[in-house]
Amino acid sequence: MNLLIMGPPGAGKGTQAETLAKELQITNISTGDMFREAIREGTEMGKKAKEYMDMGELVPDSVVVGITRERLSQSDCARGFLLDGFPRTVVQAEALEETLETMGLTLNGVINIAVPREKLLERLTGRRICRACGASYHIRYNKPEVEDKCNDCSGDLYQRSDDNEVVVNNRLDIYESKTQPLIDYYARRDLLKNINGDQEIKKVLADILASLSK
């Protein structure tokens, strides 16, 4: 089974991707890991990507798609794959579709984990980090035993600057504006599986699996 997974910051996409890949016995591929691996191994496309990155330029879609093709050609993807973080635009989605066709592959579904914005804000702005050891807490879901103090080292807890409401709202605005055309693209192809991410982790996974069996 060949899948894509999408979801805004705070939706739990990474957790679901890891668990789903194990459940389906397919390979979980995050874009970041894919890039790092291609550059580390010095593949043809990895070298091209590094050239652009060393110049401080954006890696063009043709190279990103090339790296994706290299990764999907590896033996561990023979039973299927779960792409996380790519494509990000309709142009990339069209290029991916063409690439898969040349490889004799097709997508079986695109999972879109949806969570109400107020819940995303609650999840993302509630995080607190220990200044001393870096341990992570949440003011609602993973409270420290003593307010604003780390359980492990008694260090002070703080909110990262990129976890404040203004920054988080901006991140969500950017995600929505960039992702909606992609959601529409896959909906038109009858591949989109909208999943309610505002549930227990196990229930979200169950809903994903149920949507793939339809």
What is the C-alpha separation between 121 and 105, in angstroms, rounded? 38
Catalytically active residues are 13, 88, 127, 160, 171
Cβ atoms of 92 and 61 closer than 8 Å: yes
Q: Count Cβ atoms within 10 A of the Cβ of residue 54 and give its class: 0-12 exposed, 13-18 middle, 19 or more buried.
A: exposed
Alpha helices in 25-89 (DSSP H): 31-41, 44-54, 61-72
Cβ-based neighbours of 124, under 8 Å, separated by 6 or more? 9, 10, 163, 168
Specify the 3-state DSSP secondary structure of 141.
coil
